[in-house]
Amino acid sequence: MAEAIPHIVWMADSSGAGDYLNSRALELTGLTPEDLIGSGWLHAVHPADRELAESQWAAAVASGQPYLAEYRVQDRNGRYRRMQARALTIRAATGQVIRWIGTWTDVENDRLVGDQSEISRRHASEALALVDAFEASAPLAFGFIDTEFRLVRFNDTLARLNGLTSERDLGRTVADAIPELWPVFEPHYRTVIENGDEVNVVHSIRHDADGGETVWFTTYFPVRVEGELAGIGVIGVDITQTKQSERFRSVVLDTMAEGLYALDASGRITFLNGSAARILGWTEDELRGQLAHQTFHHQHGDGTPYPQEDCSLLTVRTEGRVARSADDSFTHKNGKIIPVAYSASPLRNESGDVDGVVVVFRDTTAETADRVRAQRELNSLSWLGRIRDALDEDRMVLYSQPIIPLTGGPPSEELLLRLVTPFGKVVQPGSFLPIAERYGLVADIDQWVITKAIERAATGRRVEANISAWTIANTDLLPLIERVIRETGADPSLLVFELTETAFMQDLGAGRTFAHGLHELGCGLALDDFGTGYASFTYLKTLPFSYLKIDIEFVRDLANSAANRHVVDAIVSLAKGFGQQTIAEGVEDQDTLDILKEHGVDYAQGFHLGAPAPMS
Ligand code: C2E
Ligand code: CA
Ligand code: CA
């Protein structure tokens, strides 16, 4: 069970000296049980944390109180990761501490992603719930056998079970020490060595002393030192009582937030715990006897069929190997596909044949969402750096799109921002402007755009430039515009600034000041994306706009949409009423252009009339 938990699980004797580490530890940190012996684990702890880690652990061992600490541990790539260490005591009936069982939870990522810590904590507490259950319901048996099957170490429980004594049997082979049990254990040892994987077996042990029988859930697992097989570890959990009373099930299995189900040799469900039922949406009664693959594992995450032959869970049965996946999916009773991570172990009978599978899984929806969120955040952050670099390295450029007069006004152009990557790729503003807005870089961008637009107007051209909704509250902006106009000698009446309704919705007072300021300077003002916001009439009535830009939403499909023609008509007459002109955006074909002309729209802009192109 310690192997089935997706966390580092370790154990130590009553003096605090480590003697067991699950294989997860090796996967994550490269530590082997050998490293743990005595206080060897301290070598993996960051030098700066070592003294504290050691003294905290010594204090816990001295007091027998639960242990909770956090320190950096070196992972197998040599990087330090922050781990949360927790441990509880396992006590004899007399209350005396026999052993310590503990977990290490990687909390490094918590620092990067706040929400993740909740998940890690939850996993840690699940692991500890299991530990509690161990403590409450079962003493543990431990042993370590080298590759020649010599007994290297074992605890009292294992000794008692198999009739071993330390003085006589340490160093002897299992065959010598307990010849009558050798045939029972040998096949499992050989399977571990041949497959390099763990084997789970349920042993029933008859006790001559009282004639009773106990049942042990036993895991045999390979122990490697620097990649070389050093021997075989054994952990046994007494499930006699719990088996009889079903406490094993209710206490251990139902306190797990992870789902657990068991299959027989034909892949039919024999058991599932409460979490599995909850995650999958079926009751145990509905699922018992069903073929698991066909019932909830028959489709991939994208809904395509998942044939049984491809199923990695099948190999657990056919090849007797452990299978793990961080990225699979099960199907809920209601048809919804749930992303899951699982580990599946073969169950062997006493003769060593695989006659079942135990699968422990968890719903990774939240983790996936967290990962997506974290990834998005990281993307934003890397974009932030790229935007800064682009500004510093002069890699922002303006494209120009023609604005064509339909009712006899002067032609103009809209300046549209692009970012050029160091490799020369041109990036649309939709990819980086929202990030620039969120992280306060848009003010720099707008200042740059405004300056370029005014310089362009100084060459005698009419131009329209976009100003972000976030910038209009920036009181430096009007003085900047005024200064650049003065310095370049540009004719302010050639300049039109485009603002969206959103800008005014955010801060009407600041928007009004800015709009009137521009108007007083002699610049034009266009209300961009008109018709997509709210309460436009208020702005139309009180703000000095010269143009309404009809959003592409209403221009698209104009030939086929009577509704859109109505909207265009309404906007045109509204604008006329206020003495404003209209500009239709997104004109993609001649039919649309003809209709716009019929409706008296003043200007048109769109791919049909000219796509945005580098400013010449
Ligand atoms: P916008 O101001 O509404 O700009 C019109 C968008 O429609 C532009 O996208 C333009 O390339 C695109 N477009 C033009 N004709 C057609 C057409 O016929 N069909 C279709 N489907 N699209 C057409 P772009 O360049 O990706 O800009 C997106 C938005 O980014 C702009 O929307 C504007 O809100 C913002 N933006 C662009 N340049 C700047 C800038 O310099 N400063 C600020 N603050 N925002 C800018
Ligand atoms: Ca615009
Ligand atoms: Ca627009």
Q: Is-contact 415 406, C-beta < 8 A?
A: no
Which of 308, 332, 363 is the C-terminal boundary of a domain?
Answer: 363
Q: Are the beta carbons of 137 and 247 closer than 8 angstroms?
A: yes
Q: Does residue 2 sit within a domain? A: no
Q: Give yes or no: residues 150 and 94 share one domain.
A: no
Which of these, 100, 116, 99, lies nearest to 108 by C-alpha position?
Answer: 116
Picking from 235, 255, 275, the residue at the C-terminal end of a domain is 255
| Over residues 467-480, mean pLDDT | 88
Which residue in this structure is represented by tokens 């940190």?
A: 29
Output the residue whose Cα is nearest ligand 1's atom 42.
Answer: 466
Atom of ligand 1 nearest to the CA of 449: 41
How confident is the prediction for the chain on average, in pLDDT?
A: 83
Atom of ligand 1 nearest to the CA of 612: 11
* Nearest partner of 443 among 517, 391, 515, judged by Cα: 391
Three-state SS at 46: coil
Let me know if residue 592 belongs to a domain: yes
Domain end call among 255, 270, 303: 255
Higher per-residue pLDDT: 437 or 581: 581
Q: Are strands 213-225 and 199-206 parallel, antiparallel or unpaired?
A: antiparallel
Out of 470, 472, 585, give the residue to mutate to test ligand 1, the one with the largest number of ligand atoms within 8 Å of its CB.
585
Q: Same domain for 460 and 553? A: yes
Are the C-beta atoms of 490 and 454 separated by less than 8 Å?
Answer: yes
Q: Please report whether residue 588 resides in a domain.
A: yes
Note whether 529 and 391 are same-domain residues.
yes
pLDDT digits (tens, 9 = 90+) for 112-169: 433 333 434 444 444 444 444 444 444 577 788 888 899 887 777 788 888 898 888 9
Angstrom distance (rounded) from CA 330 to CA 342: 10
Tell me if 456 is assigned to some domain.
Answer: yes
For 266-277, letters b (16+ CB in 10 Å) and e give ebbbbbbbbbbb
Give which of 496, 304, 534 is closest to 403, Cα–Cα: 496
Give the chain's length: 616
Any residues with Cβ below 6 Å from ligand 1, and which? 401, 416-417, 428-430, 433, 446, 449, 466-468, 498, 528-529, 552, 585-588, 606-607, 612
Burial (0-12, 13-18, 19+ Cβ within 10 Å), 170: middle
For residue 429, report the distance from its CA to the centre of ligand 1, in Å.
8
Residue 522 covered by a domain:
yes
Q: Are 599 and 572 in contact (CB under 8 A)?
A: yes
Q: What is the mean pLDDT of residues 215-231?
A: 77
Whether pLDDT at 248 is above 60 = no
Residue 162: CA count within 13 A, CB half-sphere: 28
Ligand with smallest separation from the Cα of 477? 1
**Distance, CA of 43 to chain centre:** 31
pLDDT-derived band at 534 (thresholds 50, 70, 90) equals low
Tell me whether residue 3 is in a domain: no
Q: Give me the CATH number covering residue 415.
A: 3.20.20.450
Residues 492, 403, single domain; the answer is: yes
Parallel, antiparallel, or unpaired for β 97-106 and 80-91?
antiparallel
CATH number for the domain that contains residue 328: 3.30.450.20
Ligand 2: centre distance to CA 413 (Å): 10
Identify which of 404, 454, 466, 502 to mutate to test ligand 1's pocket (most ligand atoms within 8 A of the CB). Answer: 466
Rg (CA), the chain: 36
In a domain, 368, yes or no: no
Q: Burial level of 527, CB count in 10 A (0-12/13-18/19+)?
A: buried
Shared domain check, 542 and 446: yes
For residue 198, being part of any structural domain is answered with: yes
Q: Which residue has the tokens 């909207």?
A: 567
CA–CA separation, 191 vs 208, rounded Å? 29
pLDDT at 481: 96
Task: Answer whether 599's CB lies under 8 Å from 568's CB.
Answer: yes
Query: Which ligand gives the minimal distance to the CA of 429?
Result: 1
Reading the block at residue 537, the tokens are 């009439």
Ligand nearest to the CA of 532: 3
The pLDDT of residue 56 is 86
| Full domain range(s) for residue 318 | 257-363
249 and 261 housed in the same domain: no
Q: How far is the CA of 249 from the centre of ligand 1 (A)?
A: 61
pLDDT grade, residue 555 (50/70/90)? very high
Compute the distance from residue 416 Cα to the ligand 1 centre, in Å: 6
The reply to whether 403 and 456 lie within a common domain is yes
Please tell me whether residues 562 and 577 are part of one structural domain: yes
Residues 404 and 391 in one domain: yes
C-alpha–C-alpha distance, residues 396 and 382, integer Å? 17
pLDDT score, position 113 = 36
Burial of 301 (0-12, 13-18, 19+ CB in 10 A): middle
Q: Are residues 92 and 200 in the same domain?
A: no
* Whether residues 248 and 319 fall in one domain: no
> Is there a single domain that holds both residue 401 and residue 542?
yes
Residue 405 confidence (pLDDT): 98
Please state the domain count of the chain.
4
